[in-house]
Amino acid sequence: MSNEASPVFEKVLTSLKAEKVIAYPTEAVFGLGCDPDSEKAVNELLTLKKRPWQKGLILIADNYRQLQPYLDDKLLTKDQKEVIFACWPGPVTWVIPAKAGTAKWLTGQFSTLAVRVSDHPLVKQLCTFYGKPLVSTSANLNGLEPCRTAEEVRQQFGDKLSVLDGDVGGRKDPSEIRDALTGELYRQG
């Protein structure tokens, strides 16, 4: 991976720094994302998506270190961490206890946070250039199918957000979601 961002990446990074919502390809569908530390950006994303804050959000990252500031991973056993790390990077999202100070606009009504270390090269590059994880929720308006191309994102959202053009990873279904403490499956991948 190059140490310099392309002009397309620069536009998306500029939008993130300006607390705007972006769209980008993930393993199965396009995601809507923003800076997880910006309440303004998260509220814009929730409004755009028509998603209640209580549901909480997913953070995606290039590596586990980017997620650690948000997680209380001391509550996980060595065996639980091994199970998580065996799936990453990859299309499995884990629900892990959140640190007490993690923003409610991320956790919603829960004391946990859904997180994933992505194996999608553009997501990895985006998180590396930005230096932190991104909020990730499927790019679609309420009641519509998730977008699988940049063109579909533009059809649903117009010019309301910066779009990182690229191919999704080819998976049919969005990421599997599991509870890190119990192993319970919340969503089949």
What mean pLDDT do residues 59-75 have?
Answer: 97
pLDDT of 1 reads 46
Distance CA 11, CA 186 (A): 35
Confidence of residue 19 (pLDDT cuts 50, 70, 90): very high
Peptide bond into 89 cis (omega under 30): yes
Most confident of 8-17, 101-110, 135-144, 159-168: 101-110
> Does some domain include residue 1?
no
**Mean per-residue pLDDT of the chain:** 92
pLDDT of 4 reads 59
pLDDT of 184 reads 92
Can you give the pTM of this predicted structure?
0.92
> Does some domain include residue 2?
no
What mean pLDDT do residues 152-165 have?
Answer: 92
- Percent above pLDDT 70 for the chain: 97
* Domain extent for 136: 7-187
pLDDT of 170 reads 80
- Determine contact, residues 175/189, Cβ cutoff 8 Å: yes
CATH label of the domain that carries residue 130:
3.90.870.10
> Does some domain include residue 183?
yes
Residue 101 has pLDDT above 80, yes or no: yes
Confidence of residue 3 (pLDDT cuts 50, 70, 90): low
| Number of separate domains in the chain | 1
Segment 105-158, tens digit of pLDDT: 999 999 999 999 999 999 999 999 999 999 999 999 878 899 999 999 999 999
> Does some domain include residue 79?
yes
Concatenated DSSP letters of the chain? --SS--HHHHHHHHHHHTT--EEEE-SSSEEEE--TT-HHHHHHHHHHHT--GGG--EEEESSHHHHGGGB-GGGS-HHHHHHHHHH-SSSEEEEEEBPTTS-HHHHTTSSEEEEEE---HHHHHHHHHHTS-EEEEES--TTSPPP-SHHHHHHHHTTSSEE--------SSPPEEEETTT--EEE--
